[in-house]
Structure 1
Amino acid sequence: MKKIAYFLSMLMFLTAVAPAAMAKNGSADKEPSPEEKARLEQLDERVQEIKAMDFRAMDKEERKEIRNELRDINKEAKEIGGGVYISVGALIVILILLVILT
């Protein structure tokens, strides 16, 4: 029984870690450089400016441009920030195994 539990826990662990191993960025735990931090601050300031805007006064085309700009900002921030990802299914299975094995 212990061998099966050990095997299943290792399988779930590897399933949870696989998305991070296959990420585009080589190292997800790398600290952003000062230039990247400055760029993230600029992006954050722009997002705050957009949040403060009155969208009711804009026409449809302006709102569409703002929406596209926000998508681009989000993509750029994700590229700079990096991160470790774990799937929801793997997280649930790990929690269930922890409850069963304790």
Structure 2
Amino acid sequence: MKKLSLYLMIMVLSLSAIPTTMTAAEKNPVPKEIPAEVQVMLNRLEEIKEMDKSSLSSSEKKELRKEVREIKTNLKASGNGVYLSVGAIIIVILLLILLL
């Protein structure tokens, strides 16, 4: 039983080390194409950053802040990444333990 837990720990640690070594091996990553809608949103954010806000009224500043928040939430939502929560990772590990 002790050997099984030792082998399991070694397997988990070795599998968790693989992605870090793979990303370290990439020297020249291929630049990804940015979709047109995302580029438009990024350009608008740059325009807002470069804007002189001292001459704006408080209501205009408030609208700009709302616009920036909306753009940032849209940019986060447009990401194509797969995210796993800690609970999901624990469930996957428990399933692996039970099946092996």
Q: Give the structure-2-normalised TM-score.
A: 0.50
Name which structure has the greater RCO, CA cutoff 8 Å, separation 6+. 1
Q: TM-score, normalised by structure 1?
A: 0.49
| Bigger-Rg structure (1/2) | 2
